[in-house]
Amino acid sequence: MERLIEPQHLQLAVMASGRGSNFEAIQEAIEKGQLNAQIKMLISDKEQAPALLKAEAAGIKAYFIDPCKYSDKAAYEMEVVKKLRENNIDILVLAGYMRLVGAVLLNAYPRRILNIHPALLPSFPGLQAQRQAVNYGVKFSGCTVHLVDDGVDTGPIIAQAVVPVLPDDNEDTLAERILVEEHKLYPRVLQWIAAGKVFIDGSRAIVKDG
């Protein structure tokens, strides 16, 4: 069993394609002194992503990197890696980043990329997880923070939070209930990492809190 990362003040980068509410929750936890970290930059693959404006408003460097400007995914990710390296990033936090991470990023930051997914993995990976859960008829769903590997929403699970799925739920009401938990879980996991409380045991992540 090995420690994921030694206790330290984490230098984070966030990648987001949309709204950016998880970015805001993480930044808020930092400002409240609940998370020993700093968000050094936000990168988006979408020019219109509200997350970019939210980062700028918080005084955080915000970069739009247009995947269409590069010959392929590898070239695009090389540009992302360049920015991350320039800023000495320890952990890359995916928060509503709507692309699959490719080999260039994964090899540059092995076990250093986190994702949050709005379902209890391994159930309902991929897109529209909340709709999948409602349609399936599960009675509980939630969110998962995991390390990113080369699969779709696979990779060692660090933590999950559970919410009930109510009889009248639709994907929006369920998404709203899950989001409340996402905003608590992501900063909490990051603080466990900053405190050196996350360990890797084979293919599993284990949190030793306390």
Q: How many CB atoms lie within 10 A of CB 67?
A: 15
Cis peptide before 187 (omega within 30 of 0): no
CA distance 209 to 109: 25
* Tokens read off for 74: 């590898």
- Catalytic: 9? no
Of residues 135-154, which lie at the interface with ligand GRF (CB under 6 A)? 143
Q: In what order do the strands lie in the sheet with 204-207?
A: 2-3, 198-201, 204-207
* Tokens read off for 5: 């990362």
> Which segment (4-12, 13-21, 104-112, 193-201) binds ligand GRF by CB under 6 A?
13-21
Task: Point out the residue whose Cβ comes nearest to ligand GRF.
Answer: 96
Catalytic residue among 9, 117, 146, 183: 117
Of residues 70-89, which lie at the interface with ligand GRF (CB under 6 A)? none
Interface with ligand GRF includes 174 (CB under 6 A)?
no
Q: Are 52 and 44 within 8 A, CB to CB?
A: yes
- Residue from 13, 15, 76, 118 that binds ligand GRF (CB under 6 A)? 118
- Minimum CB distance to ligand GRF smaller for 78 or for 179: 179
Interface with ligand GRF includes 21 (CB under 6 A)?
yes
Interface with ligand GRF includes 19 (CB under 6 A)?
yes
CA distance 44 to 22: 14
Helix (H, G, I), strand (E, B) or coil at 39: strand
- Residue from 29, 30, 116, 198 that binds ligand GRF (CB under 6 A)? 116
Interface with ligand GRF includes 18 (CB under 6 A)?
yes
Interface with ligand GRF includes 125 (CB under 6 A)?
no
* Tokens read off for 86: 């320039």
Tell me which residues touch ligand GRF (CB under 6 A): 16, 18-22, 95-96, 116-118, 143, 179, 182
Give the residue numbers marked as catalytic: 117
